[in-house]
Amino acid sequence: MELGTVAHKYYLVNIKLPVNEEKKINVGIGEINDLHLVVIFQNGGFTKVWFAMKTFLTPSILIIMIWYWRRITMMTRSPVLLEKMIFALGISMTFINIPVEWFSIGFNWTWMLLFGDIRQGLFYVMLLSFWIIFCGEHMMVGFVESERNRISVYWKQVVPIAFGSCCLFVFDMCERGVQLKNPFYSIWTTDVGAELAMAFIIVAGICACLYFLFLCFMVYQVFKNIGGKQSSLPAMNKARRLHYEGLIFRFKFLMIITLACAALTTVFFITTQVSEGNWKWGEYNIELNSAFFTGIYGMWNLYVFALMFLYAPSHKNYGDDQTNSKE
């Protein structure tokens, strides 16, 4: 049984041992002397930290997002694709940050788990798509405008991400969706359901690893492309040279942070799919979910904050058109 929120102080759990004579399950077991239950729960300490993080980070990201978009609208040109994607990423981060959990205190809202999964899934789609476009736009530095700043250029990469997310949503609805009507339902209770669920998790983990490897390849291509552009820096005047050197340093820093964020996000996704609570080896318990959840969540917010802060268009004039302010 999974509860989205705990509306009562005490709960009474009735346990039934089903008998299946064909499979020889619970047949002739005699008197029950002992019983073990596996309980996955969110303790009070984690709840306080989680609520505090959401409450603090929501206005922080919202303020930097408003400031970022205001800087863009002050430009004489229209926003480019990368700037729109960063703003959309900020919106998705704000959506996942909103502490709706505060309103669930004292109410038996069974849809909270499903709503949380949907919010996180939408952010995954936005984040994975952003990384592809983020690398792709820098790979096409120097191309004509008609070949850049168009989302249709990346349809081959974005469509698989959207399709995979839809599959994850269907899988989640088979579990969380049914639990809206029957909180005791689990896809793992049947042999066929358990096999399908495990196969789905394995495929999802493999796809996540392949995506990360593809992203590493794109980052390598970007570094190779940008490295060739640095040969033209000595021919520029001092102001423009310092400006572009700063942009290149900022780009390399963000690209390294992007790879680190992608690696940790991939590990987090696979870990949360494989392990629901903690891993245990012998006498040692290693609890991962609490540390991963707060750490990865904080990392996402810092990453989005850094993107909007560092990629906000500059209004200074360096002798070039402002359309090149992000390259």
Largest CA distance in the chain: 89
DSSP string, 34-57: ----------HHHHHHHHHHHHHH
pLDDT in tens, 26-75: 888 888 888 887 666 777 777 888 888 899 999 999 999 999 998 888 88
**Residue 197, pLDDT score:** 82
pLDDT in tens, 231-252: 666 666 666 666 566 667 777 7
Residue 283's pLDDT band (boundaries 50, 70, 90)? low
Residue 278 and residue 289 in contact, taking contact as beta carbons nearer than 8 Å? yes
Q: Which of 130, 67, 53 is nearest to 96 (CA)?
A: 53
Give the Cα separation of 19 and 313 in Å (integer). 68
**Residue 178, pLDDT score:** 83
Give the Cα separation of 197 and 191 in Å (integer). 10
Give the Cα separation of 312 and 326 in Å (integer). 8
Torsion from C-alpha of 43, 99, 308, 147, nearest 10 degrees: 100
Helices (H), the chain: 44-73, 81-97, 112-139, 155-172, 178-179, 191-229, 238-274, 289-310
pLDDT at position 91 over 90:
yes
pLDDT at position 325 over 70:
no
Specify the range with the lowest mean pLDDT, choosing from 64-68, 194-198, 207-211, 284-288.
284-288
pLDDT at position 130 over 60:
yes
Give the Cα separation of 292 and 210 in Å (integer). 22
pLDDT at position 105 over 80:
no
Mean pLDDT calculated for residue range 78-100 = 89
Residue 304's pLDDT band (boundaries 50, 70, 90)? very high
Give the Cα separation of 288 and 325 in Å (integer). 42
pLDDT in tens, 135-166: 887 776 544 455 567 777 888 888 888 888 88
**Residue 144, pLDDT score:** 47
Q: Give the angle 312-313-315 at the CA atoms, nearest 5°.
A: 130
Mean pLDDT calculated for residue range 175-202 = 81
**Residue 63, pLDDT score:** 93
Mention every residue, 6+ apart, whose C-beta is less than 8 A from residue 216.
259
Residue 111's pLDDT band (boundaries 50, 70, 90)? confident
Specify the range with the lowest mean pLDDT, choosing from 98-102, 194-198, 311-315.
311-315
**Residue 148, pLDDT score:** 63
286 vs 26, more confident: 26
Mean pLDDT calculated for residue range 256-281 = 73
Give the Cα separation of 139 and 155 in Å (integer). 16
Specify which of 57-66, 221-230, 253-262 reaches the highest per-range mean pLDDT.
57-66
Angle between helices 289-310 and 238-274 (to 10 degrees): 160
pLDDT at position 99 over 80:
yes
> How crowded is residue 138: how many other Cβ atoms within 10 Å of its Cβ?
21
Residue 318's pLDDT band (boundaries 50, 70, 90)? very low
Sign of CA dihedral 308, 313, 318, 321: positive
- The strand pairing partners of 280, in sequence order, are 285
Mean pLDDT calculated for residue range 189-203 = 82
Sign of CA dihedral 265, 125, 42, 1: negative
**Residue 309, pLDDT score:** 87
The average confidence (pLDDT) of the chain is 78
Residue 123 and residue 161 in contact, taking contact as beta carbons nearer than 8 Å? no
pLDDT at position 212 over 50:
yes
**Residue 12, pLDDT score:** 86
- The strand pairing partners of 25, in sequence order, are 20
Residue 92's pLDDT band (boundaries 50, 70, 90)? very high
